[in-house]
Structure 1
Amino acid sequence: MSVESPESGAYGATLTIDLDALVSNWRLLGKRAGTEAGAVVKADAYGIGIEPAVTALSRAGCRNFFVAHLSEGIRARKVAPGATVYILNGLLPGSGGIYAEHELSPVLGSHEELLEWASFRQTGAKVRPAALHVDTAMNRLGLWPGEGLNLAREKSGTLAAADIGLLMSHFASSEDEADPANARQIAAFAEIAAVFPELPASLLNSSGHFLKDCPSYQLTRPGYALYGGNPTPGRPNPMQPVIGLEATIIQTREVEDGTQVGYNGRWTAKGKRKLATICLGYADGYPRNGSWTDTITGGSALVAGVACPFVGSVSMDLIIIDVTDAPAGAAQRGASVTLIGGPLDLESVGAGAKTIGYEILTSLGRRYERRYLGG
């Protein structure tokens, strides 16, 4: 089923989101791991919307969701009342009451957080079990492995008072199968998991599902791959595409050789060219680094299947594309061009904008008409 905005046609660009593909990707990853798959739905479910994503995944059987912020967890809880919702960024000082009110689970990654959470639980507050994060390489959040081992040896005190229900760590380089850091992290986490035999554990992120000789443990945490991103860079993408982005041509013109185009005239026509301006810019989440100049290449759009490069700077609300090579009649006022879809997958779009597919996804703007399929 397609759900369209009541103001369909009032937008300059359309973002299509296939919730059935999202669910298929989640099922594929769970099957590959041979264990239960959760879902990382932080950053507004990587740009596609927490509420529709969590609703579709919950209906498909997903029981564990991971977000970054409490505000995201509250949104997820409203549409998944029976699920476990983990807050990856941990316990902010004084936030215990919010966790209790919305039945959310903090991911605890420091002694300070453990002490505060244990103290809060001792007030008699009704809360769900927390997760314990052990840092095995990122040096970003989490306890040192030695701290985790010491906690396990206590078998009482702070750890018992905190009521931990999940042990986890996070890969730093799992998208690069050849990186020796992966083996070091796998070994470090295995040592920690061995001294917490009573706890379910979680290590695999999206790319981790495709690492050889890596235990799946009891729960995995895919994110990017759920939304169609390639978890195996440099190899064929095993995931189904989830999003497509199209924008409308609002004007065309022909320019002569030597004509400068866009802000500061950074692109110069080489010969007579036909240009089209589309309703989309960096205010819609398409990075300004996708600009083409006389010396730097950038992004492109598909016009009737033909790749047409951007010309000049990506501006706030508009992008100019060179449609000279598009089929006759394809590039005209009111026609749609593809910004994401087909050969313009997340990885190639990210490369054209000198960034990564993750940033493209999580920057998807609010000015699109959003069409949800399936779910």
Structure 2
Amino acid sequence: MGTSVLHIDLNALRDNWRALDALSAPHVETAAVVKANGYGIGSAKAARALQKAGVKTFFVAAVEEGVTLREALGPDPEICIFGGHMAGDTDMIADMHLTPMLNSLEQTTRHFEALAGHPFGIQLDSGMNRLGMEPAEWDAIKEIVIQAGPRLVMSHLACADEPDHPMNAQQLASFRDMTDGLPVRRALSATGGILLGADYHFDLVRPGIGLYGGLPFEDAKPVVRVECPVIQIRDVATGETAGYGNAWTAERPSRIATIAAGYADGILRAISNNAVLFEGDTPCPLVGRVSMDLITVDVTHLPHAPRSLDLICAHQTVDELALNADTIGYEILTSLGGRYARRYIG
């Protein structure tokens, strides 16, 4: 094993979807978000596994991601594009039968003029100020849009991972003000919104990070394990240093393992001198700086020379690792680079 291995448990992915699906009423459809290459695990394989579990609607960020997904899944599932109908997207949307979530009057005009009768959805801004039509813009075109029969009207919560945040109730009220009484399917919640309860579920929920083992879905099964091969182990005397910048100095005679992984693999440099890897159940401190291709780890306390060490595993989730880098599990997952050998289970 010359490169690090990303072990991906598709059974756990499906189990996480089923668990999130069970949290909403039977009439609520549970879709799946597979943008950013399936949060780093591979969108085609993730989506095919989820399709087998029962997913009928998928969400991605951009049309190009939708094309990849359509080629992987075939003609049946609905593939929705958060980014909407951008200039230059028309042929791909038509040819691949994608459903753009229209975010503005400009996108709506483009879609209606170029692809009259083609499926579409609408994204509304309920207070996040990121994507979607604001209330005044929506009011101006609402009747025409509803007559055209959107597949879905959706919005997105800004603070759903904080259940007590007042923004949640504020956005819920705003979304209801813009959509109550309309003859259309509605969607507001991703993973965090699902956990807020039935008031936030409407007709469709679209979990993302929770499928892949991340917070705020605390009951999620781990989906990924990052296994890093040990290239070399050396003895380091007291007072000697390891890695760039002499950032770590041995305070005792130590055995230091050099492993094949680094920031080119998406292992953030911010965890330098501030994280652990695991040999089985035993934590091993990362020492020195994370470099492009290599990490040094203190294995002095191990009774044997390890062949590999795990960076993400059952003992250290993506969110626990993220804390060491002062970031979030989303960034850890989506940063995982292209050099990993990907091994799929299930």
- Using the size of structure 1 for normalisation, the TM-score is 0.88
In the TM superposition, residue 205 of structure 1 has moved relative to its aligned partner by 0.5
Native 8 Å contact 2:193 2:200 kept in 1: no
CA offset digits 1:300-354 (Å, max 9, x no partner): 101232111111110111100111223x11x34xx12111112201111111222
Q: Give 5+ residue unaligned stretches, structure 2.
A: none
Confirm whether residue 200 of structure 1 aligns to residue 181 of structure 2.
no
Output aligned runs, 1:179-198, within 5 Å.
Answer: 179-196=165-182, 198=183
Verify the 8 A CA contact 1:73 1:104 in the aligned structure 2: yes
Find the counterpart in structure 1 of residue 23 from structure 2.
32
Indicate if the aligned counterparts of 1:149 and 1:195 stay in contact, CA closer than 8 A: no
Residue in structure 2 matched with residue 288 of structure 1 by the alignment? 269
Q: Which residue of 2 aligns with 1:91?
A: 85
1:104–1:113 CA distance, 2 compared to 1 (3 A): same
Shift of 1:31: 1.1
Post-superposition CA distance 1:36-81 (Å, at most 9, x none): 1100000000011111111111122111000011111001111222
SS of the aligned residue for 1:188 comes to: helix
Correspondence 1:1-375 to 2 at 5 A: 9=1, 11-34=2-25, 35-80=28-73, 81-122=75-116, 127=118, 129-152=119-142, 155-156=143-144, 160-161=147-148, 163-196=149-182, 198-212=183-197, 214-232=199-217, 237-292=218-273, 298-326=274-302, 328-329=303-304, 331-332=305-306, 335-374=307-346
Q: Closer, same or farther in 2 for the Cα pair 1:174/1:132, shift >3 Å?
A: same
Question: How far, CA to CA, are the matches of 2:40 and 2:295 in structure 1?
Answer: 21
8 Å CA contact retained: 2:281, 2:315: no
Residue type of the alignment partner of 2:319: E
Instruction: Give the conservation status (yes or no) of the 8 Å contact 1:279–1:319.
Output: yes
* 1:230-272 deviation digits (Å, cap 9, x = unpaired): 225xxxx211111111111111112122212211111112222
* Structure 1 Cα separation of the partners of residues 158 and 9 of structure 2: 29
Partner AA of 1:315 in structure 2 = S
Q: Where does structure 1 lack aligned partners over 5 or more consecutive residues?
A: 1-8, 293-297
Report the residue type matching 1:187 in the other structure: A
Aligned AA for 2:275? G
Letter in 1 for 2:219: P
One-letter amino acid of the counterpart of residue 18, structure 2: R
> How many residues are paired up?
343
* Cα distance per residue 1:60-114 (max 9 Å; x no partner): 2111000011111001111222011011112111321210011001111111001
SS in 2 for 1:183: helix
Q: Deviations over 1:132-175 (max 9, x none)?
A: 000112211110123223433xx23x5545x4210000010100
1:282 is displaced (CA, Å) by 0.8
CA RMSD across the alignment: 1.5
Q: Matched residue of 1:86: which SS?
A: strand
1:229 touches 1:347 (CA, 8 Å); kept in 2? yes
Give the corresponding residue for 1:4. none
Rounded to whole Å, the distance in 1 between the matches of 2:139 and 2:12 is 41
Measured in 1, the distance between the counterparts of 2:293 and 2:54 equals 40
